[in-house]
Amino acid sequence: MPRPMVAVVGRPNVGKSTLFNRLIGRRVAIVEDTPGITRDRLYHDVEWRGREFTVIDTGGIVLNQDDPLIEQVRVQAEIAMSEADVILFVVDGGDGMTGTDEEIADVLRSATCPVVLLVNKTDNQKRMMDAVEFYALGLGDIHTISSAHGHGIADMLDTTISLFPERRPEDDEDPDAIRLAIVGRPNVGKSSLLNAILGEERVIVSPIPGTTRDTIDTRFTWEEQPLVLLDTAGIRRAGKIQGTIEYYMVLRARAALERSSVGMVVIDAEAGILDGDKRVAGMAQEFGRGCIVVVNKWDLVDKSIIGPNGQHRRPDKGKVEAFTEAFRKECPFLSYAPLVFVSAKEKYGIRFSVETAILAAQNHAHRIPTGELNRIIRDATERRPLMDHGRTFKVYYSVMPRTQPPTILLFCNDAKMFHFSYQRYLENQLRLSYPLEGTPIKIEARKAQNKDEK
């Protein structure tokens, strides 16, 4: 079952970010340092009394500065309502109730999920007494808290987790099923791809970004292989504010990738490779998921693939190579991810995309035999030794403690010598024997115990 989502909403300067940092236990850097992508990190996983959930700081959403303040906070409240399992509505106990608070409350009263009203900055007895005025917002009980000092946070968290949805029988997963997350920017054709794979209109397809409101899990069988497709298409609003679109695109893709084995990153062939594509593709790498890149709408770039009678033809090799080269240049961190060229509208390349995704999932779970692994690592280190100030990096033994993704542990003389470039070299040597297309390979070094370096 996916982690419940808790959205923190409210007008500016009421302490939303302070509460966010309090809940996660530390300050969070705004810029993610994953190679190849930059994105705001406005969410974090939290655990309280054994329950895990994701807290979302809507105060960090990048909105158009030309929009009036009330419109901005209304947008934040609406998109939080469309995503969250619980909403924490923060008001300022020092300022008292404002017109903007009332505007937000008007929106939140129609929410289908529970709303917890938090009167922040109630640092003294007077403010705690004055907080009763917020009952006029019509959102039920109030919780007096101080994000800065931690007052009332534990009781608020107890209330929050008590409101999480119960686990449903349909959330139980088939252990043999491969979970494929269809992710990408709005309007690249994710729902169309899902329909093309299923061969029927199972979800709404629309050219308007934001048609699909919720992540949809679709279970089916592909040639005796059980699959679950997670369609993360769109955002609720049509996309007036680009920052909002980027924010929830990242949020939905993140949640889907966490629950999947393979991410099918969908790109609009005609639009080319945009920052949003790199942002989503980077998350597949960040979470260690298998990944294939589905270049959709290829019929708009290579019109020769569809014959006059609708028959499918081979794509133009030159155009395929040019797009692949451009993608590798823009997303070098996904060098292992295969590109498949499809047209969901014309049902072109659909079978190959699913078969490629299944292969990526199988590679994601692949285990290299220990003897073979040690031979490959030994040959690679002897062929190209790693030297540092006259010392040689020595690998005594290699094991593969886990898969999904394949993870290799090297017991060595000095783990600090294991440079990123040498890690990439060993990975390339492994892929010569085991290509493992569609999955990352993690290689970690650990100092061997009780080994005499001499």
pLDDT higher than 80, residue 372: yes
CB neighbourhood size of 172 (10 A): 9
Dump pLDDT digits (tens) for 405-435: 999 999 999 999 999 999 999 999 999 999 9
Higher pLDDT, 237 or 181: 181
What's the average model confidence in pLDDT over 308-336? Answer: 93
Pair 282, 36: CB distance under 8 Å: yes
pLDDT higher than 60, residue 119: yes
What's the mean pLDDT when you consider all of the chain? 82
Q: In this prediction, what percent of the chain has a pLDDT beyond 70?
A: 79
pLDDT on residue 254: 76
Place 15 in a pLDDT band, splitting at 50, 70 and 90. confident
Place 1 in a pLDDT band, splitting at 50, 70 and 90. low
Pair 26, 209: CB distance under 8 Å: no
Dump pLDDT digits (tens) for 21-53: 888 875 443 333 333 322 334 677 888 998 888
Place 12 in a pLDDT band, splitting at 50, 70 and 90. confident
pLDDT on residue 250: 67
pLDDT on residue 240: 40
- Between CA 177 and CA 38 the distance in angstroms is 33
Dump pLDDT digits (tens) for 264-302: 999 999 999 998 888 888 888 888 999 999 999 999 999
CA 65 from centre of chain: 27
pLDDT higher than 70, residue 200: no
- Choice among 224-228, 260-264, 296-300 with the minimum mean pLDDT: 224-228
Q: Of the candidates 110, 108, 116, which has an alpha carbon nearest to the alpha carbon of residue 162? A: 116
pLDDT on residue 234: 45
What's the average model confidence in pLDDT over 251-270? Answer: 86
Dump pLDDT digits (tens) for 78-93: 666 667 889 999 999 9
pLDDT on residue 283: 86
pLDDT on residue 263: 94
pLDDT higher than 60, residue 201: no
- Choice among 15-29, 173-187, 211-225, 329-343 with the minimum mean pLDDT: 211-225
pLDDT on residue 247: 59
Burial string for 331-353 (b: 16+ CB within 10 Å, else e) reads bebbebbbbbbbbbbbbbbbeeb
Nearest-5° angle of CA 194, CA 195, CA 199? Answer: 120
pLDDT higher than 90, residue 248: no
Residue 350 has φ and ψ, to the nearest 5°, of -70, -50
